[in-house]
Structure 1
Amino acid sequence: MDNFTIGIISYLMGSIPFGFILTKIFLKKDIRDIGSGNIGATNALRTGNKLIGFATLILDISKAIIPVIYTKIHFPELIFIASLCAFLGHVFPIWLKFKGGKGVATYVGILFSINILFGLIFAISWVITFVSTKYSSLSSLIGSLSIPVYLLITGNANNITFFIIMFVLIFFTHRENIKRLKNKEESKTNIY
């Protein structure tokens, strides 16, 4: 029963579409009609309102932190179930006919909740890649790959399967970006 309850609550928290909600309330627009049509923070920046973009980022991170930290404290054996369900909630939100974001900000919240070091490794990898390329999608892919690579290098293979699964899921959500990167058609992101 705990598995099911934690999974459902984490999924529902993860599925709150903050990018969609903020653009509807403050810009009277549907974020799905803007830029890539994605509900995440990178596309929220494309609304031209950086405050909405950064607010979406913080809220998408927070909606993973809340259920994962709660689970870590009260049901530590279920932390990976909570993490996966929060991520899946963002990518496949019940409120938007299961068409959501790419899950990167939510994954950042998961990483910091599981182990602050993992969150820092992701963030450093993301920043280095982004400063070098200005591609948010490539930065997210490199950041996601950095965790299983770190675990392999340090010989700390405990739970590495979870982080490989997460990388594969993020790879999947970025499949269109990967095609555009290969064809040199991916648009660069301006976060300043």
Structure 2
Amino acid sequence: MSPALTTLIACLAAYLLGSVSFAVLSARLFRMADPRTYGSGNPGATNVLRSGNKKAALFTLLGDALKGTVAVLAAKFLELPAQTIGLVALAVFLGHLYPVFLKFKGGKGVATAAGVLLALAPLVGLATLATWIATALLSRYSSLAAIVAALLAPAYAMLFDGADGYTGVVLAMSLALVAKHFVNIQRLLAGQESRIGSKKKA
């Protein structure tokens, strides 16, 4: 099999894995309303938490993170070239953002990005995750924590992984994640953003 075909198949598999929405799966598993019908309408862990079902939110969080980790670790296990591993990381992340199974309307990618980074470059992932946790605890805004972590992730990549590593991949993911939070940025500036743990609106 040619390197180009191997890369194509690996990226397609990663994209399809990323397209699996654990928020929607958790709604069915726990017999809840579809997360796209309440709160922010985002099929992600934070919005699922607004339902009040912490188990469902945890299931969503772990599932979305693990699919990013699994895709990257599988590519590493198969000893694919570094460039292909980077493309696989992007593919699984973009699959979550634009899932074929949900008409390309997916989540915002925070958990999946974390899973990807922890497998791709562990120190970068840990630093980014620590930034998210610290910002979330201080502000209680999940979106603000995601934006701050995303903006700092490329700097962490340069610091821990070097310019010749996966900095380009991290930068692309960061820009996509911030773009996905455009509406949240507007709400934050207007003082209308929901805090972590707030209940869904009727």
On whether the aligned pair clears a TM of 0.5, the verdict is: yes
Between stretches 50-59 and 150-159, larger displacement belongs to 150-159
Q: Of 136, 139, 159, which residue of structure 1 is paired with 2:142? A: 136
Counterpart check, 1:30 vs 2:37: no
**What are the Cα deviations for residues 125-171 of structure 1, in whole angstroms up to 9, with x where unaligned?**
01111111100001011112222122445692223222111111001
CA RMSD of aligned residues (A): 1.6
Instruction: Name the structure 2 match of 1:109.
Output: 115
Structure 2, unpaired ranges of 5+: none
SS in 2 for 1:27: coil
| TM-score, structure 1 as length reference | 0.94
- Residue 43 of structure 1 pairs with residue 47 of structure 2: yes
| Partner SS state of residue 30, structure 2 | helix
Corresponding residue of 1:95: 101
Kindly indicate whether the alpha-carbon contact (under 8 Å) linking 2:124 and 2:161 is maintained by their aligned counterparts in 1: no
Percent identity of equivalent pairs: 36
Instruction: State the number of aligned residues.
Output: 191
In the alignment, what sits opposite 1:177?
184
Equivalent residues of 1:137, 1:174 under 8 A apart: yes
In 2, Cα distance between the equivalents of 1:46 and 1:180? Answer: 17
Separation (CA, whole Å) in 2 of partners of 1:154 and 1:109: 17
State the Cα deviation string for residues 47-70 of structure 1 (Å, max 9, x = none).
Answer: 110110011000001111111101
Deviations 1:12-63 (CA, angstroms, capped at 9, x unpaired)? 1011011011112322421110111111111111111011001100000111
Of 161, 167, 185, the residue aligned with 2:168 is: 161
Change (3 A) 1:25 1:148: same
Give, in angstroms, the shift of residue 183 of structure 1.
1.1
Give the stretch that moved more between structures: 114-123 or 103-112: 114-123
Q: Residue 179 of structure 1 aligns to a residue in which SS?
A: helix
Instruction: Pick closer, same or farther for the CA change 1:122–1:154 going to 2, 3 Å.
Output: closer
Equivalent-residue separation in structure 1 for 2:160 and 2:118 (angstroms): 19
Residue 155 of structure 2 is matched in structure 1 by: 149
Measure, in 1, the Cα distance between the counterparts of 2:108 and 2:92: 12
Structure 1 counterpart of 2:140, one-letter code: K
In 2, the alpha carbon distance for the partners of 1:28 and 1:131 equals: 27
Deviates more, 1:72-81 or 1:172-181: 72-81
Stretch moving more, 113-122 or 9-18:
113-122
Unaligned segments of structure 1, at least 5 residues? none
